[in-house]
Amino acid sequence: MTRRIFVIMFVIVFSMIILVNYKPILKKIFPLQYNQSVMKYSAQYDMDPYLIYSIIRVESKFNPYAKSNKGATGLMQITPQTGMYIAELLNIDSFDENQLYNPDLNIQFGSFYFSKLYKDFNADINCALAAYNGGSGNVTKWITTNDKGEKYLDVEKIPFNETRNYILRVKKIYNIYNFLYKT
């Protein structure tokens, strides 16, 4: 009986601590790591820094050495092929895929690339996120037209579960970043 009371008291006290101090706890789970690079490149490429943080959080959980089973590398999980493409667009001649492990370069490339996708898809966040995860060619196939002649992406009809879930996760984490850090 005393063990049960102790457990109940512990749960109550722990819950009260969390309720009173939830923001500092959440800020440890959703950090602003690599702040200088994120702020620099999000400003340079006209993107919301909290969106870039959200992409990094989903892609690598802030692990600069993350590597996917498809070869995507670093904080923003850029494949070597996409890295070469971005390096060409940015006129970087001496690009080597191992540079994708460099946090600053990875954030520069990822921010630039996401900004490009965002512009390519007329500032449609769902299309840009879907393209970042599933490829812009696929997104172009998934865009439909409503009866008013307006083009849009129905997230629920994306055939790739990973891409559908990716969009939802990034947007959910983006809302958390905004809640925690926007003043």
Where in the sequence numbering do the catalytic residues fall? 59
- Rounded to whole angstroms, the Cα distance separating 41 from 110 reads 9
**Contacts with 138 (C-beta within 8 Å, 6 or more apart), sequence order:** 130, 131, 160, 163
Task: Identify whether the C-beta of residue 121 lies closer than 8 Å to the C-beta of residue 95.
Answer: no
- Rounded to whole angstroms, the Cα distance separating 45 from 48 reads 9
77 phi and psi angles, rounded to 5 deg: 50, 70
- Rounded to whole angstroms, the Cα distance separating 1 from 113 reads 60
| Beta strand residue intervals within the chain, DSSP E | 144-145, 151-152
122 three-class SS = coil
